[in-house]
């Protein structure tokens, strides 16, 4: 064997050792729990054969608590780059088989290297998280490492898309870094996010809580809103990330990706003409409007389980991806409340960062009143959605399908918040409030004097609805650009988006705005 052959063999051996992470036994234990290794996840995420790895031989430098005896090539994270559907992405996957994927100073250096490259080269960064947080044996060095990652998360925010998937029990910095990214997918089993686990919770607050209750995927997807998606399996979470990437540009200087479609732009959908029920109090499914107008009925929803009274997600119109925000009359009559405002505001801001036009479908009876909402800051939180639409300079196309009442009218991408094209269906009711509430405010004193107050109020309500609860008042002012036939909505939205495709709008020079947080 020549010297170079020996060296090559040595290299191959080292590579094999690095690929085993914390060893076969730990890999088997992970598999037994239905979890994948970091490398297996990366292989599923990236196009076959496209992965180029960095820092495979990097090791930690810690000598505390006998750590010099626990040295693993690659030190608990696999990093590099590859492609998803032919487009460049940077990736890191924490390896739970190495000291629980805990973060050392050197592990942080590896992650920071790919983050720096992602920012410089304008490509998304995907974090596959499975980590117990800062490596306890390293102390301040691990904390410094996390802080370096947080700083880069913030610098990358709005420059390149950042997507996180959570596969194992993630704690401490392993949840704060994903929290700074744009989207988080979790897995229904084995994937948890919490500041610290149930044992520490018990010792600090004496609270008995299971890992599921404290930080499970369903909880975060439906209660806290931390997660955008709760996948059935790790494989499905990765498929979600791949599909999400197909809707977003590589960076903030690029336009949205184009996906050719055979769905005709002028396709009519007759069922939309009869979607709105005769009774204003009857609900219907706003998702029908979305799936019946987007290309091939393909709608990719985010935060589906959280605040379902508003729908957010991506679709395509004539091949171009758009963000869609829509009130959902099926839940709480589509009312705006704290959670739905926060959900929509964050989504609109993501779209605005990355030049993704937003189509807004409006059917909203107003903001939810009451002490619960007020005590929790509906004023401050409701202002977020207002702020997000008002600052957004992307193309904004709005369709009012039914109710657009009061402040909620103003908020939902109205003309006055630089809505570019605002359409209404003939069923639209654009007014300060609904007929029943309006006549109670305006005529309750006169009604008391009437022979039959109920008849008197019913007549007044009819008069109010004829005068106010229609789209023509707003159309006469030019606040609504046209009243459109529901069946032609797809065509009209596509025409509007095409007309707006070179839109340029700016905000005044400033360091940054001060969105109410």
Applying CB under 6 A, among 27, 38, 91, 99 the residue interacting with ligand HXC is 99
| Nearest residue (CB) to ligand HXC, 169 versus 486 | 169
227 CB contacts (<8 Å, ≥6 apart)? 166, 184, 185, 186, 193, 217, 220, 221
CB of 56 vs ligand HXC, minimal distance in Å: 21
Applying CB under 6 A, among 176, 183, 423, 491 the residue interacting with ligand HXC is 176
Neighbour-count burial of 237, counting CB atoms closer than 10 A to its CB (0-12 exposed, 13-18 middle, 19+ buried): buried
Binding of ligand HXC by 102 (CB under 6 A): yes
173 a catalytic residue? yes
| Nearest residue (CB) to ligand HXC, 102 versus 398 | 102
Which contacts qualify for 39-43: CB closer than 8 Å, 24 or more apart? 39/78, 39/93, 39/95, 41/93, 41/128, 41/165, 41/167, 41/234, 41/238, 42/78, 42/80, 42/82, 42/91, 42/93, 42/128
Distance from C-alpha of 513 to C-alpha of 296, rounded to nearest angstrom: 38
| Nearest residue (CB) to ligand HXC, 80 versus 100 | 100
CB of 38 vs ligand HXC, minimal distance in Å: 14
Catalytic-labelled residue, pool 38, 408, 431, 496: 408
Which span sits near ligand HXC by CB under 6 A: 99-107, 291-299, 319-327, 374-382? 99-107
CB of 190 vs ligand HXC, minimal distance in Å: 9
Among all chains, which residue has been given the structure tokens 């570019």? 420
Catalytic-labelled residue, pool 158, 225, 319, 407: 407
Binding of ligand HXC by 167 (CB under 6 A): no
CA torsion, ordered 186, 189, 194, 198, to nearest 10 deg: 180
Q: Tell me the residue length of the chain.
A: 517
- Residue 325 in 3-state DSSP? strand
CB of 482 vs ligand HXC, minimal distance in Å: 50
Per-residue x/- track, 441-480, ligand HXC (CB under 6 A) = ----------------------------------------
Per-residue x/- track, 108-147, ligand HXC (CB under 6 A) = ------------------------xxxxx------x--x-
Looking at residue 367, the DSSP 8-state letter turns out to be B
Instruction: Give the per-residue SS3 of 330-347.
Output: CCHHHCECHHHHHHHHHH
Question: How many residues sit in the footprint of ligand HXC (CB under 6 A)?
Answer: 18
Number of Cβ within a 10 Å radius of residue 88: 16
Per-residue x/- track, 182-221, ligand HXC (CB under 6 A) = --------------xx--x---------------------
What's CA 24's distance to the chain center, in Å?
36
What's CA 465's distance to the chain center, in Å?
37
| C-beta of residue 52 within 8 angstroms of C-beta of residue 82 | yes
Binding of ligand HXC by 172 (CB under 6 A): yes
Which residues contribute to the site for ligand HXC (CB under 6 A)?
99-100, 102, 132-136, 143, 146, 169, 171-173, 176, 196-197, 200
Catalytic residues: 172-173, 407-408
């Amino acid at each position: 064997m020549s010297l170079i052959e020996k060296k090559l063999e040595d290299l191959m051996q080292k590579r094999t050792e690095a690929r085993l992470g914390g060893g076969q036994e730990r890999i088997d234990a992970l598999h037994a729990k239905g979890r994948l290794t970091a490398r297996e996840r990366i292989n599923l995420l990236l196009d076959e054969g496209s992965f180029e790895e960095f820092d495979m031989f990097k090791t930690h430098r810690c000598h505390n608590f006998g750590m010099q005896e626990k040295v693993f090539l690659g030190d608990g994270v696999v990093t590099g780059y590859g492609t998803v559907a032919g487009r460049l992405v940077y990736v890191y996957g924490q390896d739970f088989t190495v000291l629980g994927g805990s973060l050392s100073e050197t592990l942080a250096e590896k992650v920071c290297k790919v983050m720096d490259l992602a920012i410089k080269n304008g490509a998304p960064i995907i974090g596959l998280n499975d980590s117990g947080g800062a490596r306890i044996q390293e102390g301040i060095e691990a904390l410094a490492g996390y802080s370096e990652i947080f700083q880069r998360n913030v610098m990358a925010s709005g420059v390149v898309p950042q997507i996180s998937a959570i596969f194992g029990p993630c704690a401490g910095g392993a949840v704060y870094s994903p929290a700074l990214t744009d989207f988080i997918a979790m897995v229904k089993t084995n994937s948890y996010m919490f500041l610290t686990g149930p044992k520490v919770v018990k010792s600090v607050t004496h609270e008995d809580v299971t890992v599921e209750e404290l930080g499970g995927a369903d909880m975060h997807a439906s209660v806290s809103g931390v997660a955008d998606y709760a996948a059935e399996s790790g494989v499905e979470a990765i498929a979600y990330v791949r599909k999400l990437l197909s809707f977003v540009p590589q960076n903030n200087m690029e336009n949205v990706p184009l996906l050719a479609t055979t769905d005709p732009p002028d396709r009519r959908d007759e069922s939309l003409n009869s979607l709105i029920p005769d009774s204003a109090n009857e609900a219907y499914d706003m998702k029908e409007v979305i799936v019946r107008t987007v290309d091939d009925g393909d709608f990719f929803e985010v935060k589906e389980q959280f605040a379902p009274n508003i729908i957010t997600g991506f679709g395509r119109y004539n091949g171009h991806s758009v963000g869609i925000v829509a009130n959902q009359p099926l839940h709480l009559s589509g009312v705006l409340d704290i959670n739905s405002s926060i959900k929509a505001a964050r989504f609109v801001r993501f779209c605005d960062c990355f030049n993704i036009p937003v189509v807004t479908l409006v059917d909203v009876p107003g903001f939810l009143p009451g002490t619960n909402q007020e005590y929790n800051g509906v004023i401050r939180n409701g202002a977020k959605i207002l702020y997000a639409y008002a600052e957004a300079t992307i193309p904004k196309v709005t369709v009012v399908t039914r109710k657009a009442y009061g402040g909620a009218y103003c908020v939902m991408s109205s003309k006055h918040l630089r809505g570019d094209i605002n359409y209404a269906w003939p069923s639209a009711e654009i007014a300060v409030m609904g007929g029943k509430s309006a006549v109670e405010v305006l005529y309750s004193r006169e009604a008391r004097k009437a022979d039959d107050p109920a008849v008197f109020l019913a007549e007044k309500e009819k008069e109010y609805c004829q005068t106010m609860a229609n789209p023509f008042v707003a159309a006469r002012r030019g606040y609504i650009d046209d009243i459109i036939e529901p069946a032609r909505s797809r065509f009209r939205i596509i025409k509007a988006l095409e007309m707006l495709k070179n839109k340029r709008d700016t905000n005044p020079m400033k360091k940054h705005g001060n969105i109410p947080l």
